[in-house]
Amino acid sequence: MAIVLVLPASISPSPQEERSGAADPARQETRPRTLGRRIRERLDDRQAVREKYRQAREDHRRQLEAVEGQISRLQGQVERLRRENRVAGEALERRSAELEERRSFTSSAQRDLARLGDEGLVSLRATLRRVGAGVPVLKAARLSALARSAVSLESEDPLERARGIERFLSLFDEDLQLARVREVRSELIAVSADRRLHARVVQLGLVNLLFALETGDEVGIAVPDPGERWRSSIEAEERESIRAVFDILERRCVPEVTPVPFPAPRADPKESEGVKER
């Protein structure tokens, strides 16, 4: 088989070179070497171009993969943000519903508190009259506490009204504790403005206070009038009942049912006016 080598124009010898080569044997001898060298150079250049093209294509592929990876990560982040946004939106809707429910509850509680405050104020004023007309058991302190509660109940501030109701209810607990007291104690009492004597005092809850002098010669009851706290000018039958109460509580006799005198309460001017109007 014959092999035909086709050379580029820049490699093929010119007519002048052919004539000169024909004339110069040395030159004819080096011509194939030159042609081979040029062919190898051309082949090397072509291989270099191919290598550069391959390297450029590989770089482009890596860059494309990197961009696709970034796009994939960004898509994942966008999807995660969408989920978080959806969850946050649902949580916001729940919070809004809870807030609306709390607003409705608060509005209802404020109306109930206002109603309780008005009713509590009416009850407190009645309690003030009852304590003022009752026996002198911590009366000043109880009246002062009731007055402070009344100021709170008359306030426009819902929180202050709530505190007033709480204090008023706590006073009921204190009165219940005082109402359970059944005791005999020694006390210095003011029988009159210029007469103070040592006496034994019986407290029957918040219902009655009885006294008997240490000598036993004089007995009496407590009265709600501040100008006359203790009164001994009572009927003989009442004096005997008081002595019997002391004997029973001090265990000097067998317990029995004994009538106890009660101080006459002062008439409430408002109630008196109401009776007159009716």
Interval 160-178: pLDDT, tens: 888 888 888 888 888 889 8
Q: Is residue 232 included in any domain, yes or no?
A: yes
Q: What is the pLDDT of residue 274?
A: 37
Residue 216 — left, alpha, or beta (φ > 0 → left; ψ -120 to 50 → alpha)? Answer: left
Residue 257 falls inside a structural domain: yes
Instruction: Give domain status of residue 152, yes or no.
Output: no
Q: Which residues of 180-208 are buried (b: 16+ CB within 10 A; e: fewer)?
A: eeeeeeeeebebeeeeebebbbbbbbbeb
Please state, in angstroms and rounded to a whole number, the distance separating the CA atoms of residues 278 and 273: 9
pTM to 2 decimals?
0.51
How far is 187 from 140, CA to CA, in rounded Å? Answer: 18
What is the predicted pLDDT for the residue at 11?
A: 47
Has residue 226 been placed in a domain?
Answer: yes
pLDDT confidence of residue 97: 87
Helix, strand, or coil (residue 199): strand
* pLDDT, averaged in runs of 10, over the chain (278 residues): 46 53 56 78 84 88 89 90 90 87 77 78 87 82 90 84 86 88 84 78 84 79 69 78 82 68 54 36
Sheet holding 195-204, edge to edge: 182-192, 195-204, 208-213, 219-222, 230-231
Do the domain assignments include residue 95? no
- Return the structure tokens found at 262: 């009660």
Q: How many domains does the chain have?
A: 1
**27 domain-assigned:** no
What pLDDT sits at residue 278?
31
Instruction: Supply the range of the domain harboring residue 201.
Output: 182-263
In this structure, is residue 148 part of a structural domain? no
